Chain A
Amino acid sequence: MIPAARPEQPATGVPLRATGMPLHDPAARQRWASLVLGAVLLWPLLAATEFSPWKIFEPRSLHASARFLAGFFPPATEAGFLGNVALGAWQTIAIATSGTVLALFLAVPLALCATANLSISSLGGRMAPLPFAVRQGLRGAMVALRTVPELVWALLLVRVVGLGPTAGVLAIGLTYGGMLGKVYAEILESVDSHAARTLLANGSGRLQAFAHGLLPEAAPELTSYTVYRWECAIRSSVVLGFVGAGGLGQEMDNAVKMLAGGEVMTMLIVFVALVAGADGLSAWLRRVMQ
């Protein structure tokens, strides 16, 4: 946005030297310093990441990559394999769906307890200290669930429940439970709470106040966010497959380890199509629910 032109001001800035010699740029010193600082910071970055792109072009690794890449075309289309891929794709959808449902079991109670709009003690003004502490504690719990990456949860769970979809479902359930819970609580607090608080003031239970007072207004946003998260869960469950949590991801991991380029290519195509489909479905669902 170009700001409105100001009225004519007297000339400011550096006066000309009598000889008319070129002036010195006042910003030059600062820019040199920034440039040097940038270079000084860049060096350890490159060193720490062992950044040596020329290694990719060394004959042996170039040969290996070329062979791997060449294997991508044509993508594998053998019937038995495609059957496995379809199964893997369905498993991915199933993991995402079950994980999200589990997350709901965690998120809904947490959100209901944590949201300030269902607080009875705050009806008369400020919330009492104990309920406040409890709510903050629940918020903290949800943040804790979110902060540990779901891949880490999956890694741990795989060692407890074994390889396979269960670990993925639980990992998604835990992390998404935290995410959904936090956002649900926030949505519930952002809606107009007048109806709910009136109900509470008149002695109705919290669940009723929620169902009749908050839910009608918040429902569109709540469902919209949930559907969006389900779509993210599909992507997550593929990633989790790489640590053994089943689905398309696990198949892809196996294929890459065997350098089976054609199979990897097919699975990538299926994965991209799956994500695009989920994206389209989620957009449609959100429109229908409005």
Chain B
Amino acid sequence: MPGPTEAAAPAAGLSLDLRAIGLARSVRGGRREILQSVDLIVAPGEQVAIVGASGAGKTSLLQIAAGALQADSGALRLGGESFWQLPPSGRQRVRRALFLAPQVPPLPPRQRVVTAVLAARLPSLGFWRGLSSLLFPLDLGAVQAALEPFGMAGRIFDRVDRLSGGERQRVGLARALVAPARIWLLDEPLAALDPVHGEQVLGLLCAEARRRGVTLIVSLHQAELAQRHFSRLVGLRAGRLAFDQGPDSIREAQWTALYDVPPHHGAAASTGAA
């Protein structure tokens, strides 16, 4: 059922189909494999957590899933359509149904919270409404309703650079609630939050996603949180799929292996993205 923040009732969640994804980057001394033959198939409305150590490739995988990065090998299908084979206009159309929350909240420092949140709604506004909303924000009610569950409603007219790191992260996540998206891809959404608030926010995001029927894919390095809130966990280890199953069926040994990464990967990880 549509809530106060939604522009219009979205169709059911978008499905994601990643097959044999490979990504490599040139580094000093050769090529480093960031992802190797990763498969990930997510049904519409499903909720998946991607877990792994930093440097395992979680961020790259999410960016590839969002069409923000083109993999060196493999195929990406969103909503059944082969993304990279669409014409540019088709790709833009599919993109409007996506929402990616990067690890660092993408908020311009001097912008006000209200505008930064409304920016997520731009795909469903035309150019002129987008332009006018920049000066005179439309639909303040929707922004307020989106910030409310994150406890940020009172800061709606403050500038982003007056917020703390945790507050900025919450604003970044609140953007999901106004976006006309059918799939949410959240990269380490709890990175700047303390454990208590983090658990609250995660629960909130999962509940909202379920209520709207949007597909939810979250990358986390907090294993216990992932186990408690998600019924499907995908483990990434050094760019490869380690497991893809329900939390109860994962053995202790698999968890230890996940975070026990070979030295060169850990070292390289400190220079690159996760």
Contact = CB atoms under 8 A, between A and B. Distances in A.
A31 B115 CA distance: 14
A290 interface: no
Given A6-B164, A8-B167, A27 B157 contact: yes
Interface string A3-14: 101111101111
Nearest to A4: B165
Nearest to B140: A22
Interface of A: 1-3, 5-9, 11-16, 20-28, 31-32, 35
A2 B157 CA distance: 19
B191 to A, nearest CB: 12
A31 to B, nearest CB: 5
Contact of B144 (A1, A6, A22, A32): A22
Contact of B154 (A6, A8, A12, A26): A12
B155 A12 contact: yes
Interface residues of B, number: 27
Contacts of A16: 144, 153-154
Nearest to B139: A22
B136 A14 contact: no
Contacts of B144: 16, 20, 22-23
A9 B152 CA distance: 11
Given A1-B109, A5-B192, 9 more contacts: A3-B161, A11-B152, A12-B158, A13-B158, A22-B140, A25-B114, A25-B140, A25-B157, A27-B157
A238 B98 CA distance: 55
Contacts of A9: 164
B140 A26 contact: no
B269 to A, nearest CB: 23
A163 to B, nearest CB: 52
Given A8-B164, A25-B136, A14 B157 contact: yes
Contacts, number: 63
A11 B163 CA distance: 10
Contacts of A15: 154
A26 B157 contact: yes
B136 A11 contact: no
Contacts of A6: 162-164
B192 A13 contact: no
Given A5-B165, A8-B166, A13 B157 contact: yes
Contacts of B155: 11-13
Nearest to A1: B109
Contacts of B139: 22
B237 interface: no
A5 B164 contact: yes
20 contacts: A2-B109, A3-B161, A5-B165, A5-B166, A6-B164, A9-B164, A11-B152, A11-B155, A12-B158, A13-B154, A13-B156, A14-B154, A20-B144, A22-B141, A23-B144, A23-B157, A24-B140, A25-B137, A31-B136, A35-B135
A5 B114 CA distance: 19
A35 B134 CA distance: 13
Interface in B130-178: 135-137, 139-141, 144, 151-158, 161-168
Contacts of B153: 16
Nearest to B167: A8
Contacts of A20: 141, 144
A153 B232 CA distance: 81
Nearest to A35: B135
